[in-house]
């Protein structure tokens, strides 16, 4: 069964590498460097304004560490057909799940180390923690995450004759207790509590797993939800075939369609508008990118970095809207509409202009609120206007026309 997991893991890593190459292209990496540099600069400036003695400093550290401790779930790579074909091998699945936990440790523990490393300057300034204490806290965080992954592994099995407790409540509860003890007393106390928890879960699991059955349906659902979250992240940058959007009525937006004249020339504009609003795939993508951009622009300070970030998010939104032009190519009735291709393209350009204009307006408002500099606000507005005009009126028609010629 360990060989089965290795085979699935290799296939999974190849699939992830394929999407990561599309996500971390040259432009995005360049923008990411600007973003990380801006956040680091802002974090450094914030630390200069802090001093020791804040009562809320341990609370902030506790919340950050508890949240980070929940990052990194058990990646089992279990498939829906396993509950049928692997059921006779249920006892041998233990080796499969142990291998899955061992693989899950890598990224999960790396996140814990990075979180403690980033939080160290804040705790050093506001709580006067020494390097030794911070290292001890990092060890406690790693041991705690190991215990939480053991709980994930144990929860994959049924508890015969007992009502199963809320697994998520247990994970959050023990994380709060262990880390609070380390922050308000000594970090060594957190290490001891985390070790006791880790050993207790390991001992209980070693004695009981052979008598329990695997929760096949629940584990398949958990793994599907985990992969769905990964695919949704990739879908922000490229098209993911595994995602299928849902249709929602959104009756409260019906008033917007009254602005579209019911004429022959606006047929595709009405169709594209309805599809964009009712479909969850592209509309959700636009909303997520806009909200993320607004949050980043609110916390980022500076004269030129907000301009770059605003331009970056407008580009990402406009680039992700291009596949929507072929949304209805598989619908046979659209090919018999007496509408010229130029009218269809014109309608799509109008829709893209409207969406980018609204997104640019929201991003600009956040820049004005977060950065009270006239020059920054003026340059951002100018860059956004030029970028929206170029992306919608020049880049989009040229890109779609060239794609149509290549397909033809």
Give the tens place of pLDDT for each residue, 95-125: 999 999 999 999 999 999 999 999 999 999 9
Please compute Rg for the chain using Cα positions.
26
Query: How far is Cα of residue 162 from the mean position of the Cα atoms in its chain?
Result: 35
Same domain? For 34 and 122 the reply is: yes
- Entry pTM: 0.72
Provide the 3-class DSSP secondary structure of residue 331.
Answer: coil
Same domain? For 261 and 231 the reply is: no
Mean pLDDT value across residues 276-280: 77
Range of the domain at 52: 2-235
Split into its structural domains, the chain has a count of 2
Look at residue 162 in the predicted model and tell me its pLDDT: 45
Q: Who has greater pLDDT, 113 or 82?
A: 113
Same domain? For 188 and 219 the reply is: yes
Same domain? For 141 and 272 the reply is: no
Same domain? For 91 and 143 the reply is: yes
Same domain? For 64 and 130 the reply is: yes
Does any domain span residue 20? yes
Does any domain span residue 135? yes
Q: Which residues pair with 214 in a beta bridge?
A: 157
Asked which of 235, 267, 284 is the last residue of a domain, the reply is 235
Query: Which range has highest mean pLDDT (138-142, 156-160, 232-236, 347-351)?
Result: 138-142
Same domain? For 100 and 191 the reply is: yes
Mean pLDDT value across residues 224-231: 87
Does any domain span residue 42? yes
Does any domain span residue 240? no
Same domain? For 67 and 215 the reply is: yes
Same domain? For 227 and 256 the reply is: no
Look at residue 245 in the predicted model and tell me its pLDDT: 59
Same domain? For 194 and 305 the reply is: no
Same domain? For 95 and 50 the reply is: yes
Asked if residue 75 lies in contact with residue 149, where contact means CB atoms within 8 angstroms, the answer is: no
Look at residue 31 in the predicted model and tell me its pLDDT: 67
Asked which of 235, 263, 294 is the last residue of a domain, the reply is 235
Distance CA 398, CA 394 (A): 6
Does any domain span residue 244? no
Does any domain span residue 320? yes
């Amino acid at each position: 069964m360990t060989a089965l997991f290795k085979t699935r893991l290799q296939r999974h890593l190849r699939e992830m590498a394929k999407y990561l190459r599309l996500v971390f292209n040259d432009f995005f990496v360049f923008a990411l460097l600007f973003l990380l540099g801006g956040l680091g600069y802002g974090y450094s400036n914030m630390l200069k304004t802090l001093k020791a003695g804040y009562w809320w400093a341990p609370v902030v550290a506790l919340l950050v560490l508890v949240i980070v401790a929940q990052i990194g779930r058990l990646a089992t790579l279990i498939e829906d057909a396993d509950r049928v074909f692997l059921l006779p091998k249920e006892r041998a699945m233990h080796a499969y799940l142990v291998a899955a936990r061992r693989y899950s440790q890598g990224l999960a523990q790396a996140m814990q180390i990075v979180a403690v490393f980033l939080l160290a300057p804040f705790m050093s300034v506001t709580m006067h923690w020494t390097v030794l204490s911070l290292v001890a806290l990092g060890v406690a965080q790693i041991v705690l995450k190991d215990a939480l992954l053991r709980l994930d592994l144990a929860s994959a099995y049924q508890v015969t004759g007992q009502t199963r407790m809320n697994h998520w409540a247990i994970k959050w509860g023990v994380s709060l207790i262990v880390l609070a003890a380390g922050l308000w007393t000594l970090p060594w106390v957190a290490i001891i509590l985390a070790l006791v928890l880790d050993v207790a879960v390991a001992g209980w699991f070693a004695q009981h797993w052979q008598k329990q059955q695997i929760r096949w349906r629940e584990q398949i659902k958990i793994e599907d939800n985990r992969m769905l979250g990964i695919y949704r992240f990739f879908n922000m940058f490229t098209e993911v075939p595994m995602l299928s959007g849902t249709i929602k009525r959104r009756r409260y937006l019906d008033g917007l369609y009254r602005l579209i004249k019911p004429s022959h020339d606006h047929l595709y504009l009405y169709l594209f508008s309805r599809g964009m609003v009712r479909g969850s795939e592209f509309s959700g993508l636009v909303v997520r990118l806009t909200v993320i951009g607004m949050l980043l622009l609110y916390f980022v300070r500076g004269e030129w970095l907000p301009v770059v970030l605003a331009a970056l998010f407008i580009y990402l939104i406009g680039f992700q809207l291009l596949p929507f032009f072929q949304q209805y190519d598989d619908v046979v009735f659209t090919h018999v509409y007496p509408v010229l291709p130029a009218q269809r393209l014109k309608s799509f350009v109008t829709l893209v202009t409207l969406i980018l204009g609204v997104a640019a307006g929201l991003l600009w408002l956040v820049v004005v609120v977060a950065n009270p500099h006239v020059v920054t606000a003026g340059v951002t507005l100018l860059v956004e206007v030029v970028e929206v005009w170029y992306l919608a009126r020049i880049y989009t028609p040229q890109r779609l026309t060239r794609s149509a010629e290549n397909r033809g």
